[in-house]
Structure 1
Amino acid sequence: MTLLALVIGACTQQGGGTTSGTSSDQADPNGELTTNMSAEPDTIDPQVESFVSEIGVTMRVFEPLMTADVKTGKVIPAAAKDQPKISSDGKTYTYTLRDGLTYSDGKAVTANDFKYGWQRLCDPATAGDYAFTGYIVVGCEAWNTMDPKKDDPAKQAAAKTAFLNSIKVSGNDISFTLTDPAPYFNAIASIWVGAPAREDMVTKGGSSWTEPATFIGNGPFILSEWKHNEKMVFTRNPKYRNPAKLAKWTQVMINEGAVAFAAYRNSELDVFGVAAEDLRTIDSDADLKKQVAEGPQGCSFYMGFNTTKAPFTDKNVRIAFAKSFDRVAYINDVQKIGKPSTSFISEGLPGFDGGDTFQKYDVTAAKAALAQASPEAQAALTNVKLSYNATARNKTRLEWFQGQWKTNLGVNVQLDPVDSTTYSQLLKKADTTPQSYYIGWCPDYYDQQDWLTTVFDSKSTISHTGWKNDQFDTLVRGADKEADPKKRDDMYQQASRLLSQDAPVGFVYYGTTKLLVKPYVKNYYITALGFEVADFTDVFVTKKS
């Protein structure tokens, strides 16, 4: 599948595709860009993080072995010099680093640095959100699932050794031995989980190693300043193999959309993410209308139900909640940007299933499902709480859902606004995951495995619905290693439909990106991923008039 990116060039793009600008577009060598990351990240540790804003920091500062092409979505070399050599059984991937790579302080980047990144990913003491993605490497799961405080130290040491023996380094080569063939492994090599964190810097900085003094990377930017809860400042890394066109990129932390919109209009931001509340103002302003850019987002938004907490322990309650809100009305009347969804994988991406309509709006079916709920679940309906990231705009959206459930099910849902950083912290641990919550999943790479296995396999370290379905697990694990593309797609589709029918989440909508971009900003790519290396190296600004 070809995945098109949108490039903000000399004019506003009117559809999909790219615009490269004109020959007169010259990058200002001292150019600065200011964008909004909304809130203070919970962490920027590449082997711990999982939220989009966290990942965006890491991918500016570190370069993985591979990356995705912004135009095709295909995995292409980054720190690696070429595609990996894959053994005939599909279980060994060998990457060769480019010659002459260095960190921003001049220290050489070695294959052992990448091995250390993977060691941190699988180390149970790291407690990384994405540790599950490493389980395909021999020994990672056995080591990662140990309890560093309770398990026998000798057994932990043996498990660590077994894992490290499955990643071999020879000169510029690093080889990974996998438990099974994994058609998606090259894509995992393109994301942040194996970023070459510096062992000397992690040791020196300890729990604060992600502060600028020790957050030393091999990517296009240097984290030069972090004024907590206010901004992060990134400056060009002159030692990077393909220096960024921007001299400086500042990310501010403005949580309220209305405040960010005002900042854009006051030229304090160069890019702004448009929401429904902004459309009338934009449509009535000829200059703002010219600055609108649209493109793919790839994210799928949903209501999460904690299946370990009543009433959502009962499948009938989950189905009732999922089928009792009008997604089309939500998009038309409230969200306005995006498309209604009744399945997980976003439209336009591999595995999208437009024929899966089990969760479609059907009040009669929703009431019938609720009537079949157990007496215990029925009793728990009097105390349902929905947690969300506390902003004024989110409050408006969640009040709409609250009204739908009251009208259609007779259930009074209490809204629980939580500040952004705390909210992300709550969702990262199974024992703190709220009873129900509103969140979205955005792709890490273009493969169904990243959606179905990574998020909903019962062994996953990422999703905390508490849901376990043996048939689903069998299907996705089989598809993960299936070499035949058609069989693989069929197995993932079966799993996806089981997910819809068991309803650990209620699907809401597929996101679409709508931005305002200042005319002097060029090569600002809009893709479903948003963290390809070219996103950071190619963007530039012309001289501001």
Structure 2
Amino acid sequence: MLTVSILAVALAAAGCSKNTGEDDGTGDQTEASTQTATLAENSDGPAPEVPGAKKGGTVTIYTSGDFEHLDPQQNYVVPAQTTGTNLLYRTLTQYRENGDGKLEVVGDLATNTGEESDGGKTWKYTLKDGLKYEDGTPITAQDVAYGIARSFSPDLPNGPHYAQQWLAGDADYNAKYKGPYDGGAQIPPNVEVPDAKTIIFKFPEPHADTPFLAAMTTVSPVPKAKDTKVQYDNRPFSSGPYKIKEYRRGQQMTLVRNENWDPKTDPIRHNYPDQYVINFTRSAEQASELLIADQGANQAALTMQDMTIPASVYPKAIADTSAKSRILTGPTQFVWLINFNTQRVKDLKVRQALNYAIDRQGMLKVWGSYAGDPGTTLLSPTTSGYQKYNAYDGGTNGNIEKAKELLGGKKLNLTYAYRNTERNQAIAAFLRSSFQQVGVNLNIQPVDEDQYYTVIGKKDNQFDMYMSGWGSDWPGGGTVIPPLWDGDRIVPEGNNNYSYLDDPKVNAEIDRILGLSDLTEADKAWAELDKDIMTRLAPAIPVIYDKQTTLYGSKIGGIYLSAPYGNSGLNNLYVK
């Protein structure tokens, strides 16, 4: 097995670009590539100073709706993840980056990226000295273990499931343990906490990529005394450089400095702004217009990944010299898919027909052609081992006749759920119009933005189709194919397998690949399984390889496109 000391793996390169020969008006064409992430030898703080940075001022962030979950153990959507990991809470490890293309995994709460033994089954982490919560109480290894224990609770079903499954040695991680509530143990299975500074994971199987798992919000510490269970979404207790001053759900959140955060313990974060104001009330169009105008408080504002410049505003943005220079753009690791709920859309020919019928170029025009590229695979081109293919090549605008042939003259009524935002409203209307040409009537139904993934993650949801975006949690296909397509991982709620695909051959191949010690061999196998899933089962329609295209104000400094999160990095921001 490749040992962690020499682990180097491919990760989405947000900052690398090369000319594609096509100009969309920005003059800055990018295409996805891969990048090497390494494990750092030095995890000491403080983080290097950002050139030109100074303290003071307020940064305003516009995001298209409230966070689905800010509770670290349920946090799994990019804007909330970035806010959480950059500003509010810390993890055992984290990514050190500043947009220069170099990416390292460093010890965050921990002194290093982990000490491996027993062939990769055992991992030991030692916490740094001087770690404190916002009230000045010490952060302990017991708190980290308790946070992980919470993630097992059926009351908190959303969020990543890697830690739970690895520790239980089973996709059904609740078979023997259901978290710390109702008399459950405060420390999860296969975790040892010999003292306040030490936490040890003893996995039933080897996991060479544990340093990447340790950067997930699942391993954020939660003090038991502050745990409000499902209400923790409303007020997570800060271990990071900022804390919540005010949170009015659906309206606004204000973050102020956490005076008990010690920069000497933190190798990645800063606390330059006096405060952050996160506004949930503006549409993408409204926020983009405010940032183009660049007046008053909006000079120190930015939009998040979910607020891509809309097609209605984009021409105005690139026609304005100042605004054009303030567009943060680059490929991300995300692929947007139209999922079929295979529990309901059982006919393979129907799923294949709509794969042939999809008009990717037309859809991109609605989405914003500057904000992505046509996608035909489950894995992003940023993924190590990626193989290009198109299992249902209907041309750039779809093959209506082939789709009709597969449907055999049948007329269908299908229900399509969409995230209730301007962009997704337009996409839903486009798909309804487009699929009418092949005899499929889409009944389109909105779902509140701050509930969307929770709703479609319920196994008994009543929708036939819906769109989702997924990017690798850390390098390689092992954080894409298993969570999205492993039928053994399907649970009543909190699913990431939104197609509810449960194919014995796919499940067995996932298990086989996860057991490979050669990561290069595994990368190739994930790409082959990607093609098999689409060719044999067609559980989704891949449509778009994502590209970040957002705006920021003229007084924002230290901004960059974060490779692990595909979003604006917040840890280096300052007000000029």
SS of residue in 2 equivalent to 1:313: coil
In the alignment, what sits opposite 2:351? 318
Alignment partners' CA distance in 2, 1:360 and 1:173 = 54
Q: Which of the numbers 197, 206, 215 marks the counterpart of 1:181?
A: 206
The two structures, once aligned, show a CA RMSD in angstroms of 3.0
Change (3 A) 1:103 1:418: same
Give aligned pairs, total: 510
Alignment partners' CA distance in 2, 1:172 and 1:433 = 47
Q: Which of the numbers 150, 156, 174 marks the counterpart of 1:120?
A: 150
1:484 and 2:556 are equivalent in the alignment: no
Query: 1:238, CA displacement in angstroms?
Result: 2.9
Q: Which structure 1 residue ranges, 5 or more long, are not aligned?
A: 18-22, 373-377
Change (3 A) 1:506 1:133: farther
Q: Which of the numbers 393, 405, 429 marks the counterpart of 1:368?
A: 405
Q: Which of the numbers 327, 331, 345 marks the counterpart of 1:292?
A: 327
Alignment partners' CA distance in 2, 1:464 and 1:403 = 24
1:61 and 2:92 are equivalent in the alignment: no
Q: Which piece of structure 1 moves more, 77-86 or 359-368?
A: 359-368
1:420 and 2:454 are equivalent in the alignment: no
Matches within 5 A, 1:314-463: 314-332=347-365, 335-336=368-369, 337-354=371-388, 356-361=389-394, 362-371=399-408, 378=410, 381-407=411-437, 409-432=438-461, 434-460=463-489, 461-463=495-497
Deviations along 1:444-487, one digit per CA (max 9) or x if unpaired, are 22221111112221133322322111221222222223111232
Alignment partners' CA distance in 2, 1:426 and 1:315 = 24
Change (3 A) 1:486 1:53: closer
Change (3 A) 1:424 1:332: closer
Matched AA of 1:427: I
Q: Which piece of structure 1 moves more, 112-121 or 44-53?
A: 44-53
Sequence identity (%): 19
SS of residue in 1 equivalent to 2:481: helix
Query: 1:195, CA displacement in angstroms?
Result: 1.0
In the alignment, what sits opposite 1:240? 261
Deviations along 1:219-240, one digit per CA (max 9) or x if unpaired, are 1221221012111111222322
Asked whether the 8 Å contact 1:56–1:531 carries over to 2, the reply is no
Asked whether the 8 Å contact 1:113–1:197 carries over to 2, the reply is yes
Matched AA of 2:204: T
Alignment partners' CA distance in 2, 1:199 and 1:91 = 28
Asked whether the 8 Å contact 1:246–1:537 carries over to 2, the reply is no
Alignment partners' CA distance in 2, 1:518 and 1:120 = 39
Asked whether the 8 Å contact 2:337–2:540 carries over to 1, the reply is yes
Change (3 A) 1:441 1:390: same
Asked whether the 8 Å contact 1:73–1:446 carries over to 2, the reply is no
Change (3 A) 1:6 1:223: farther
1:51 and 2:77 are equivalent in the alignment: yes
In the alignment, what sits opposite 1:263? 290
SS of residue in 2 equivalent to 1:323: helix
In the alignment, what sits opposite 2:559? 524
In the alignment, what sits opposite 1:217? 238
In the alignment, what sits opposite 2:38? none
Change (3 A) 1:227 1:342: same
Asked whether the 8 Å contact 2:241–2:257 carries over to 1, the reply is yes
Alignment partners' CA distance in 1, 2:560 and 2:27 = 11
Alignment partners' CA distance in 2, 1:275 and 1:360 = 28
SS of residue in 2 equivalent to 1:509: strand
SS of residue in 1 equivalent to 2:166: coil
1:208 and 2:231 are equivalent in the alignment: yes
Asked whether the 8 Å contact 2:457–2:496 carries over to 1, the reply is yes
> TM-score of the superposition, structure 2-length normalised?
0.81
Deviations along 1:54-91, one digit per CA (max 9) or x if unpaired, are 32343221101011233434422211111211114211
Asked whether the 8 Å contact 2:247–2:253 carries over to 1, the reply is yes
